[in-house]
Amino acid sequence: MSLDHDQDDAFPLVKSASRALEVLEALAVSERKQSLPELSSRLSIPKSSLHGILKTMVHRGWVETDESGLRFGLGVHALFVGTAYIDRDDVVARAQQVLDWLSDQLGETIHLGRIDGRDVVYLAKRDSTYPIRLYSAIGRRLPLHATALGKALLSQRNPETVRALLPTELPQLTPSTIIRWSELERDLERTRQRGYSIDNEENSIGIRCFAIPLPNPRSGRAPTDALSISIPMVRLDQGTEAHCARLLMEARDRYAHPERYGNGH
């Protein structure tokens, strides 16, 4: 049995389980270990209740403390579960040979990303072979509106759905990030017409990205995963965009029809 997120409002949530998951999510996005008062304030959970939750999670290996025992971070079990998710994901497994092929063609950074709420999450990557390259990590979350991956996926949804997905105030990551709704809607329309999206230094200064959505194996559903190519501006030339677009189109075909390329099972 699986729980559908669309039915959350009708499902009676278990308060203690929900709070434990909130703790994990808060620690996952924090760049440093958090104290009990910091977590209590951030999550609006009483310190007395949170203390018991944290002690239990430390005992089970989901949370670790620093030497003082007063600051908390993710434990090794969180890594185990995250790795297991990636290892067992059908899309990630299917995309591995496509990622390798795309990386071999360019030597640039390649990402596979998935939509999750307002963000896109990196599920797999191939690093650039060049000294100057984009830094990224599996599991990193970035706003949908500020990435080529995210915009490729947003372009496959109607404007009403896009409005419901994103915050009213679009956060700005760089001076080039699109934060006006009218501009974002025009950009998504251009993406639909081209067939691929462009992030023009909107997420990282000095980096341009191109992305394309992958077909959803669940018939009739909007795509949830996308492939991207990230290239430093110093290596871009007049023909780069067209070349990347052609490669992304073929990569999508290789993903959808592996038997055409000798990769069928």
pLDDT in tens, the chain (265 residues): 233 444 455 667 888 899 999 999 899 888 899 999 999 999 999 999 999 999 999 999 999 999 999 999 999 888 888 888 888 889 999 999 999 999 999 999 999 999 999 999 999 999 998 887 777 788 889 999 999 999 999 999 999 999 999 999 999 999 999 999 999 999 999 999 999 999 999 999 999 999 999 999 777 899 999 999 999 999 998 899 999 999 999 999 999 999 988 765 4
Q: Which residue pairs from 15-20 have beta carbons closer than 8 angstroms and sit at least 24 positions apart in sequence?
A: 16/53, 19/43, 19/45, 19/49, 19/50, 19/53, 20/53, 20/56, 20/57, 20/62
Helix (H) or strand (E) holding 73: strand 71-74
Distance CA 43, CA 50 (A): 9
* The pLDDT value given to residue 6: 43
- pLDDT at res. 229: 97
- How many whole angstroms separate alpha carbon 83 and alpha carbon 63? 16
Please give the CATH architecture assigned to the domain spanning 89-261.
2-Layer Sandwich (3.30)
One CATH from 1.10.10.10, 3.40.47.10, 3.30.420.40, 3.40.50.300 for 5-75: 1.10.10.10
Q: What is the structure's pLDDT at 82? A: 82
pLDDT for residue 4: 40
Range list for CATH 1.10.10.10 in the chain = 5-75
Amino acid 132: pLDDT: 73
Structure token pair of residue 168: 């009213």
Q: Tell me which residue of 91, 185, 194 sits closest to 145, measured CA to CA.
A: 185
- pTM for this predicted structure: 0.79
Domain(s) labelled CATH 3.30.450.40 in the chain stretch across 89-261
